[in-house]
Amino acid sequence: MNAHAPFSFALPGSDRIIVIGAGIAGLATALRLAPRPVTLVTAAPLGFGTATGWAQGGIAAAMGSDDAPALHAADTVAAGAGLTEADVALRVAAAGPGLIDWLVGLAAPFDRDAAGALALGLEAVHSRRRIVRAGGDSTGRMVLETLVRVVARTPSVTLLVASARDLMRDARGAVAGVVCERDGLRFPLPGRAVVLATGGVGALYASTTNPRGATGRGLALAARAGAVLRDMEFVQFHPTAIATGADPMPLATEALRGEGARLIDETGAPVMAGIAGGDLAPRDVVARGIFQAQARGAQVFLDCRGDLGVRMATRFPTVAGLCAAAGIDPRVAAIPVRPAAHYHMGGVKVDATGASTVPGLFACGEVASTGLHGANRLASNSLLEAMAFAPAIAEAAAAVPAPGQARAEAATPRSEGDYEVLRAVMERQVGVVREADGLADAVRDLAPAARAGCDAALTSLLIAASALSRRESRGAHWRSDHPAQEAPVHTELALSDLWAMAEAVEPGQAVVAA
């Protein structure tokens, strides 16, 4: 891996492919592109600032003798609430075992059983034990460290620590590079193609398990470049964020419930009693169950007491450490939990090669809408998806015709807006349970800052407007005023559509300052 000062990138003419983001999606894509030249643009030093390192659950793959990709795909479709594309689910599931083998070949330290076979865990809605993990509940961190080591010794990858501020386009509208910013200086970075691997949107919410940088900037870049965004309303709220006042909120992995942990209220009564699937119901169902219990005034806890609590230090060391830091001993005390924004199923609409609707622009990982997750992501499918699409993206991006000269466009005006007020709006109006008046208020509140160039406000507005337009309840999108399901359709939105929708909402006093 090489590192260069930013000024060298302003030179004209480049065959490089630019990957924005250095989580599992960006790193896997960069490695699959080798030996083609790649510039990896990351806002933080390599290995930091990405949600990948925080992933506790693992990687879903049909590795067991009683399992098969078709079973994994069927579970994925079942979780997706009618919007998962079956062919995509099968293709990704079929890639799973080979991707685990690829990581093993890179020396990823996956957990093994006494016989030396991969230790496979169980999570909600999975019909088989198929969760491949590392370090108990440290899978994301250990896989990230593995990929960082490999990228660091890959000579075709050049690292640029900078922020991506705009996408450059040629006269045809094809993406021709990125406008970057470092130390207050903006400079052009031309390239043959751009791959967005910028992660999710959780930090747009006051309660989140995501890093502070997860504000959906890649989605704003894509929207401003003319890309179609799909299913932006589907934000997954993890049911069991540890409620100790931290921001971001630490996570108690779903695998705990797979190993026997139960959700209870302050009286010890089961929170999920009478709800199909109980404690192992899909995440959207469990999140709503907890939300509704708390709305009734109950306190909700994850009960790991007994044998699981005793084993937690070795089986779930990350959660054990988080509990210890909060003064909780899970052997004798239940863990206070509540839902928090965790994963975004929507994103840049892409095809099987990761190509967006804009020539030269690709998306991989959480920033993309691939058709895999539908309205509700199956646990431990996110790391899998990022790796599964990387080879096809690498092949397609390398074959993109060289763009023309980038147009001299005025830089997008920038406004940071009032970030904490924005997060409060999203938490209150665009959270676990939604309704028309609250969503319209959110659109009204967010539109001025979005128009002024605040990327966080633009992405938030895309989510709120999409949620307002979906007049039904499906998966992670629950409308209290429209609790029934309609025919399954995707929500697609371009920037021009968004402004028209915002203008149609009754004008009012915005609370997010521009």
Dump the DSSP string for 468-483: HH--S-BTTB-BTT--
Q: Mean pLDDT over residues 50-77, rounded?
A: 95
264-321 tens-digit pLDDT? 999 999 999 999 999 988 888 999 999 999 999 999 999 999 999 999 999 899 999 9
389 and 440 in one domain?
no
Contact 462, 502 (CB under 8 A): no
167: in domain: yes
403: in domain: no
Domain range for 419: 413-514
More confident residue, 3 or 451: 451
278: in domain: yes
Query: What pLDDT does 411 receive?
Result: 61
pLDDT confidence bin for 13, thresholds 50/70/90: very low
485 and 468 in one domain?
yes
Residues in contact with 408: Cβ distance below 8 Å, sequence separation at least 6, in sequence order: none
325 and 467 in one domain?
no
Quote the CA–CA distance of 320 and 246 in Å, as a whole number: 16
354: in domain: yes
329 and 368 in one domain?
no
Number of domains into which the chain is organized:
3
84: in domain: no
148 and 164 in one domain?
yes
418 and 514 in one domain?
yes
101: in domain: no
221-249 tens-digit pLDDT? 999 999 999 999 999 999 999 999 999 99
147 and 42 in one domain?
yes
491 and 439 in one domain?
yes
What is the percent of the chain where pLDDT is above 90?
Answer: 85
Q: What tokens does 500 get?
A: 């028209």
Amino acid at 248: P
Q: If you write DSSP's letter for every residue of 154-197 in order, what string do you get? A: -TTEEEEE-EEEEEEE-TTS-EEEEEEEETTEEEEEE-SEEEE-
CA angle 482, 483, 486 (to 5 degrees): 75
Beta-strand pair 347-349/368-369: parallel
pLDDT at 34 over 70: yes
435: in domain: yes
376 and 418 in one domain?
no
324: in domain: yes
- List the catalytic residues: 283
Q: Considering only CA atoms, which of 351, 368, 379 is closest in space to residue 78?
A: 379
Contact 11, 167 (CB under 8 A): no
Query: What pLDDT does 5 receive?
Result: 46
pLDDT at 190 over 70: yes
Q: Considering only CA atoms, which of 291, 316, 171, 193 is closest in space to residue 239?
A: 291
Q: Considering only CA atoms, which of 354, 342, 350 is closest in space to residue 379?
A: 342
Query: What pLDDT does 74 receive?
Result: 98
pLDDT confidence bin for 414, thresholds 50/70/90: low
393 and 329 in one domain?
no
326 and 362 in one domain?
no
> Final residue of a domain: which of 294, 321, 342?
342
Query: What pLDDT does 10 receive?
Result: 43
pLDDT confidence bin for 331, thresholds 50/70/90: very high
CATH number at residue 48: 3.50.50.60
Query: What pLDDT does 12 receive?
Result: 44
496-507 tens-digit pLDDT? 999 999 999 867
Helix, strand, coil share of the chain (percent; to 5): 35, 20, 45
CATH number at residue 420: 1.20.58.100
Q: Beta partners for 158?
A: 2, 39
352 and 329 in one domain?
no
Q: What tokens does 56 get?
A: 């506790």
Query: What pLDDT does 9 receive?
Result: 45
Query: What pLDDT does 11 receive?
Result: 39
Quote the CA–CA distance of 282 and 207 in Å, as a whole number: 20
Query: What pLDDT does 23 receive?
Result: 96
Residues in contact with 499: Cβ distance below 8 Å, sequence separation at least 6, in sequence order: 451
pLDDT at 510 over 80: no
